[in-house]
């Protein structure tokens, strides 16, 4: 039996005249379109699950017309809601495959309860079952039950595309995503599972959770008495904690009394701020040059207010407020 077509399909000739989608928009794959149609069909089944023929005498109607649950009337109601009138690709696919959906609904649903598997995988052959990939739906690396050992994504999983290789989650590496990256250690490993846990932030490699389990310290940290400790922020490399254990000082600091201390550039003999009337303010590791409040900033000077704007003479420079720094 061919079901009556919906009014929405009368719009197909008009939809063909619409401008094409922008090139930037990624065109959905046949598998993606099929899966979307199945998802909507399944939702339609949920939405109509508690309905009936609506004629006022449900018992007679179901006895005479068969049960609504498996009726053609219910199927038609589901199909009516599958595609928006403006969704050309959905309507096009539905028009081409409606007889398949009708056959599944009326004859095959009990034998093949999974519509996606029957329709998209076995009938149209545009998708693969989960855990398989490619034109022949081969098993992903690590097997179809737990692709990539459960620690990654199989390229092409569930589609007729990809090469089945593993794209590992953060912390994992290797062809089956069973090995741990630097910064992670193996907290569980057996024949079926591999779990990698993050090291302490001080460790580049480690065997446990704390800074005493480091195999190698991260850059900016150093091994001191069996634990990786952080170098002071003033250090370029260190032998221990604090500014007194720096190997070298970062720019803006110099060694003073055995440790790296901030250089006050504003107190040096050579002026750090060279524009006229400019104020210099020291900051940790650096300095800032600021015109006094009310002065106009130019390329080579801080220009004081004119006599017409002020009291007739130059105002003394004023320090900027703390918020201005």
- Within this chain, do residues 186 and 159 fall inside the same structural domain, yes or no? yes
- Within this chain, do residues 42 and 116 fall inside the same structural domain, yes or no? yes
Instruction: Report the pLDDT averaged over residues 109-115.
Output: 93
Asked if residue 52 has pLDDT above 80, the reply is no
Give a yes or no: residue 287 inside a domain: yes
Instruction: Report the pLDDT averaged over residues 160-181.
Output: 95
- Within this chain, do residues 186 and 258 fall inside the same structural domain, yes or no? no
Residue 277 zone, left/alpha/beta (φ > 0; ψ -120 to 50; rest): left
Contact between 304 and 277 (Cβ < 8 Å): yes
Residues in the chain: 325
Instruction: Report the pLDDT averaged over residues 271-297.
Output: 93
Distance CA 6, CA 91 (A): 10
- Within this chain, do residues 48 and 108 fall inside the same structural domain, yes or no? yes
Alpha carbon distances (Å) from 214 to 11, 189, 194, 242: 67, 20, 20, 20
Q: Is 295 or 58 the better-scoring residue by pLDDT?
A: 295
Give a yes or no: residue 88 inside a domain: yes
Give a yes or no: residue 80 inside a domain: yes
- Percent of the chain surpassing pLDDT 90: 64
- Within this chain, do residues 41 and 99 fall inside the same structural domain, yes or no? yes
Give a yes or no: residue 295 inside a domain: yes
Give a yes or no: residue 244 inside a domain: yes
What is the model's pLDDT at position 307?
35
- Within this chain, do residues 85 and 45 fall inside the same structural domain, yes or no? yes
- Within this chain, do residues 81 and 107 fall inside the same structural domain, yes or no? yes
Domain count, the chain: 4
217 phi, psi to nearest 5 deg? -80, 150
- Within this chain, do residues 102 and 143 fall inside the same structural domain, yes or no? no
Asked if residue 20 has pLDDT above 80, the reply is no
Distance CA 50, CA 195 (A): 45
Q: What is the pTM (predicted TM-score) of this model?
A: 0.61
Give a yes or no: residue 23 inside a domain: no
* SS3 assignment, position 200: coil
What is the model's pLDDT at position 217?
93
Mean pLDDT check: name the lowest of 11-25, 80-94, 137-151, 193-207.
Answer: 11-25
Instruction: Report the pLDDT averaged over residues 20-35.
Output: 72
Which residues span the domain enclosing 252? Answer: 231-263
Distance CA 151, CA 142 (A): 10
Asked if residue 208 has pLDDT above 90, the reply is yes
Dihedral angle of Cα 33, 36, 42, 47, to the nearest 10 degrees: -120
Asked if residue 149 has pLDDT above 80, the reply is yes
Distance CA 281, CA 297 (A): 16
What is the model's pLDDT at position 3?
47
- Within this chain, do residues 79 and 143 fall inside the same structural domain, yes or no? no
Give a yes or no: residue 40 inside a domain: yes
- Within this chain, do residues 74 and 141 fall inside the same structural domain, yes or no? no
Instruction: Report the pLDDT averaged over residues 161-189.
Output: 95
Give a yes or no: residue 319 inside a domain: no
Residue 317 confidence class, pLDDT cut points 50, 70, 90: low
Last residue in a domain, options 214, 244, 263: 263
Cβ–Cβ contacts within 10 Å for residue 177, how many? 25
Looking from the CA of 217 toward its CB, the CA atoms found within 13 Å total 19
- Within this chain, do residues 42 and 99 fall inside the same structural domain, yes or no? yes
**Residue (of 253, 232, 230, 236) closest to 244 by Cα position:** 232
- Within this chain, do residues 86 and 116 fall inside the same structural domain, yes or no? yes
Contact between 241 and 229 (Cβ < 8 Å): yes
Q: What is the pLDDT of residues 225-247, one digit of tens each?
A: 899 999 999 999 998 889 999 99
């Amino acid at each position: 039996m061919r079901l009556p077509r919906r009014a929405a399909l009368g719009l197909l000739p008009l939809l063909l005249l619409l401008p094409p989608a922008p090139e930037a928009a990624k065109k959905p794959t046949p598998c993606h379109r099929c899966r979307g149609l199945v998802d909507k069909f399944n939702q339609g089944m949920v939405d109509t699950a508690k309905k009936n023929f609506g004629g006022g005498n449900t018992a007679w109607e179901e006895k005479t017309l068969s049960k609504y649950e498996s009726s053609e009337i219910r199927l038609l109601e589901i199909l009516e809601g599958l595609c928006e009138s403006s969704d050309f690709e959905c309507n096009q696919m539905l028009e081409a495959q409606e007889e398949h959906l009708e056959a599944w609904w009326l004859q095959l649903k009990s034998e093949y309860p999974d519509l996606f598997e029957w329709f998209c995988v076995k009938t149209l052959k545009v998708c693969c079952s989960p855990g398989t990939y490619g034109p022949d739906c081969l098993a992903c690396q690590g097997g179809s039950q737990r692709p990539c050992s459960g620690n990654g994504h199989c390229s092409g999983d569930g589609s007729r595309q990809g090469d089945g290789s593993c794209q590992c989650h953060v912390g994992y590496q290797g062809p089956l995503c069973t090995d741990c990256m630097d910064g992670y250690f193996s907290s569980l490993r057996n024949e079926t599972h591999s779990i990698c846990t993050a090291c302490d932030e001080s460790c580049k490699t480690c065997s446990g959770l704390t800074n005493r389990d480091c195999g190698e310290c991260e850059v900016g940290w150093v091994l001191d008495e069996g634990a990786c400790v952080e170098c002071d922020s003033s250090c370029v490399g260190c032998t221990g904690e604090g500014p007194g254990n720096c190997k070298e000082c970062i720019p803006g600091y110099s060694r003073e009394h055995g440790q790296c201390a901030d250089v006050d550039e504003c107190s040096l003999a050579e002026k750090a701020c060279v524009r006229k009337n400019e104020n210099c303010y020291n900051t940790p590791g650096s300095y800032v040059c600021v015109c006094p409040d009310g002065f106009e900033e130019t390329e080579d000077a801080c220009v004081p207010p004119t006599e017409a704007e002020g009291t007739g003479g130059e105002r003394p420079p004023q320090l900027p407020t703390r918020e201005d720094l």
